[in-house]
Amino acid sequence: MIDLSLRPSRRRAVTAHVVLGLLLQFVFVVQSLVILPLCIRTIGAGPYGFWLASGGIMSWLAIANFGSAGLTMQRCASAYGRSDLAAARDWFMHGVVVAAASAVVLLALLLPVAAFTPPWLGARGSVAAALSSGMVIAGCGAALSPLNDTARGFVCALQRNSFAMGAELAAAAVSLVFTIWSLLAGWGIAGLAWGSLLRMALALGLNVFFAAVCATQAAASTRWSRAIMAEYGKTLGPLWGASLVGQLVPQLPLVVLAKALGPELGPAASLAYTATTRPIALAEMFTMHAISSTSSAITHLVEDPQAAGTASARVRAMSSAVYAAIAGGVALYCLGDEGFVNLWVGRDAFMGQAFVLAAAVASVASIQLRWLMNLGTSLGMVASTAVFQAVEGVARATAMIVGVACLGPIGIPLTGIVVMVCGASFIERRLAEHHAFPTAGTGRWGWLLRAVVACGVASLAARYIPRADWVSWAAAMTLGGLAAALAVLAGSSEIRGWIMGWSAQQIKRFRAV
């Protein structure tokens, strides 16, 4: 099934990761389009709003996630790049021990959090009881996450991404079907919780199987090492802080809105925020997924002696492609989000075009920052990058709370823009100082300016997008997508060069035939 004696293809691994990730995001898109209106009809807007807010509280359980999976994947990919499969297996087995400890701590925190959350949010009666039991069920699935991340990371580190992402895709599809059935059957909030647990349990089972197949191909047995555990211990603090912040900050807006506006307006505001930002959140999720798919490949590339001298140029080309995709994607979000939300949920769930513009620019800053942090981790700067991520997350959370208090909901994206742009400037300087991998010339600021201009123009043009039916809206968005694609191609010399080079190769092959 998996033969590690064959030399891996980094391009094939990244392509499989991205393509399967696209299918996975398609499942999430279908889930978002179907589950939200279905929950409003079967559960009610109020209880579902409380469930969304409780999901933000559940993210606080990330305090038990030590975040060791990233270090495990980086070290395994580095060892495999040196053709040392035994060392990769040793790092993986030590990572499993750390992940298991993380899962145990998370389970210990689950019951107190589930009992505290409903009354703190203002839920009462049967709604509070359903929230509490649902959080326990979903929390059991969250406890499996560190183990699943470790197993999936090990398979991806060995450049067998298709197996790991195939497991995630299959689990998500089964979970979606089950969740829809359970909601239609009247399970209510429990259906959402059991669907979440089912997805994580299936993904874990498949990824553990693939990881075991890979690990057994190492010639020697596992070598338990104090040095490896000491490395985990040395970096566990920064990794834990980064993991905690990475789980808390994305969920914080729903909690801040629910508490700032009270039990009467809070659930409705959480629902409107979710509906307005869902398209850009899904697009950002896919982009982040594509970025993370390159992490082990970059590490393998840098460690591979056959690729010496070309790694820097290749990664700079990746950077240009990432920034180009950002500029085009956020422009489409600004162009079509109002019509999409109006047709999908209703006009009352749209937070305004000014909020959409701010959210789009914040997404640009977030993706660029994540790409730079991904480079730092891939190049072995695991601990320092984790420390930076933790500090940046705390600063963003603090600014978000102040922004909502002073400016209302729009303060969430505006404060995020300021913090993330400053953070990107800092980490880019650190990467440029890295003696083995200068990153100057990635063009981050040029693409940021283009994205801001594109978002502004698209926001003004949004008033001309039809909102009467899905067909006219989709037709207008298709034309907008073609315009965005042409603008991206015209603005990126790297992408134009890649297309021209690929076209020239195809012409040569055709003439040879």
Amino acid 10: pLDDT: 63
Model confidence over 469-493: pLDDT tens digits?
788 788 877 877 777 667 666 655 5
Mean residue pLDDT across the chain: 77
Model confidence over 117-153: pLDDT tens digits?
888 877 788 888 888 888 888 888 888 888 998 998 8
Amino acid 442: pLDDT: 47
Check whether 35 has a pLDDT greater than 80.
yes
Amino acid 441: pLDDT: 43
Amino acid 495: pLDDT: 59
Q: Which range, of 88-97, 183-192, 225-234, 263-272, averages the lowest pLDDT?
A: 263-272
DSSP code, position 467: -
DSSP code, position 154: H
Mean pLDDT of 393-407: 84
DSSP code, position 217: T
CA neighbours within 13 Å on the CB side: how many for 488? 22
CA proximity to 118, closest of 267, 290, 339, 219: 267
Check whether 269 has a pLDDT greater than 60.
yes
**Residue 125 backbone zone (phi > 0: left; psi -120 to 50: alpha; other: beta):** left
Amino acid 290: pLDDT: 67
Mean pLDDT of 420-429: 82
Mean pLDDT of 356-373: 83
Q: Which range, of 143-147, 188-192, 236-240, averages the lowest pLDDT?
A: 236-240
Amino acid 205: pLDDT: 92
Question: Which of 167-181, 363-377, 407-421: highest mean pLDDT?
Answer: 167-181
CA distances from 300 to 157, 165, 232, 383 (A): 8, 19, 20, 19
Q: What is the 3-state secondary structure (H, E, C) of 385-448?
A: HHHHHHHHHHHHHHHHHHHHHHHCCCHHHHHHHHHHHHHHHHHHHHHHCCCCCCCCCCCHHHHH
10 CB-near residues (< 8 Å, 6+ apart): 159, 297, 300, 301
Model confidence over 153-189: pLDDT tens digits?
888 888 787 888 889 889 999 999 999 999 898 888 8
* pLDDT band with cut points at 50, 70 and 90 for residue 302: low
Check whether 44 has a pLDDT greater than 80.
yes
Check whether 397 has a pLDDT greater than 50.
yes
